Structure 1
Amino acid sequence: MKKFLMLAPLVLLLLQGCGVTMTQYEPNFDNVQRLKQTPPLQPISQAKVTAASGQGSLMVRANPISSPTGSIPAHVQAALTQELSLAGLLNQSAPQRLDVLLVKNELTAGVGSGHGILAARFTVFKDDAAVYDATKEVTSVWSSSFFGPIAIPNAANAYNPLVRDLLKALYSDPLFIQALK
């Protein structure tokens, strides 16, 4: 029993790890091209991302996953802003804006595989009237490990592809494209 008590902290360290900062989001060429190939789209003045209660942070095996931009909503906002800007769709004097509410934001790192879910409600306002309102959800599965120092960074590395896929789902929605015309 004494040996077990001495091994317990080691086992806990192997299962956990430490907090991890995910990498900066790199704009996705395909996402930007998708927006550029459907002209003429009207620009938006801003894209503002907020999170529903309890969805503004990420934890994997009781370890925080942080963003280099500060918060998780700021991370998604930076990704969205970069891609819209590269597509030429940001103009501060434009009459329409995009509000985004993160409604699901989860990463798990199981022994064999990790799972992620990212969902957001996107609303386009033109002159304060909603012209588009839809929720998009994406999921992902990746290889994980029993060992926390492997599993937790793998989960953090899986977040940017979730963001990319979420934005792709938005840009692929013909109703979103129609709202920007």
Structure 2
Amino acid sequence: MKLRMATLALTAVVLTGCASFVAPTYSPDYPSIDRLKTSQLGKIAVGEFQPRSPEAPVNKITLRGAPFVTTQGSFAQYLEEAIRSDLTELRVLDPKADTRIDATLLKNDMDVSGINTGEGFMDVRLSVIKRGQTVHEKIYSAKTQFESSFAAAVAVPKGQSEYPRLVRTLLQTIYADPAFIAAVKP
């Protein structure tokens, strides 16, 4: 029985190293959305988030050697779609709006190398442009921690499932910033 369990565990570790993992779909943080609804935001367009190349270092994440990717093509585009989703929920998304959000992903990683704990890190330079003028620019950061495991068969899927929470944590930080809110008001 012990041999069978050891073989199963070894097989899971080997297969985990070969598989490619996809980031789960983002879902909005509704308490943050509800708080923003009271701020009476103006219409907002979403610009292009950078870097778009899947080969850019911030868009290349591995979870214990296994590639971690998004269906959007890059993690910058994942963040872009997350903000679009939130602005759609708020009913303020308008591609023709005078106010636009641009962003550059500076740091992006999921670390599942720990024995009991995993971490996510993200830094983004976010700009709000209103009628062609930059009215707000700031680097926002997020860090998350989660229970993990020494076993890759547990740690890798856990890191994968935690990525949307990292993005939500970053967006909560942005949406709670009075300077950001002032910049996107009409």
Same fold (TM over 0.5): yes
The whole-number CA distance in structure 2 between the counterparts of 1:160 and 1:15 is 20
1:32 and 2:36 correspond = no
Deviations 1:11-49 (A, max 9, x none): 96288463211211112211211221111x221122432
Q: Which residue matches 2:142?
A: 138
Identity of aligned residues (%): 27
Counterpart among 146, 170, 179 of residue 175 in structure 1: 179
Gaps of 5+ in 1: 1-6
1:73 and 2:76 correspond = yes
TM, length-normalised to structure 2: 0.84
The whole-number CA distance in structure 2 between the counterparts of 1:15 and 1:159 is 18
TM, length-normalised to structure 1: 0.86
Question: What's the CA shift for 1:113?
Answer: 1.0
Aligned length: 172
Instruction: Look up the SS of the partner of 1:153 in the other structure.
Output: helix
Q: Which residue matches 1:42?
A: 42
The whole-number CA distance in structure 1 between the counterparts of 2:15 and 2:24 is 23
Q: Which residue matches 1:149?
A: 153
Question: What's the CA shift for 1:107?
Answer: 0.8
Is the contact made by 2:24 and 2:163 (CA closer than 8 Å) also made in structure 1?
A: no
The whole-number CA distance in structure 1 between the counterparts of 2:35 and 2:47 is 18
Instruction: Look up the SS of the partner of 1:55 in the other structure.
Output: helix
Gaps of 5+ in 2: 1-6
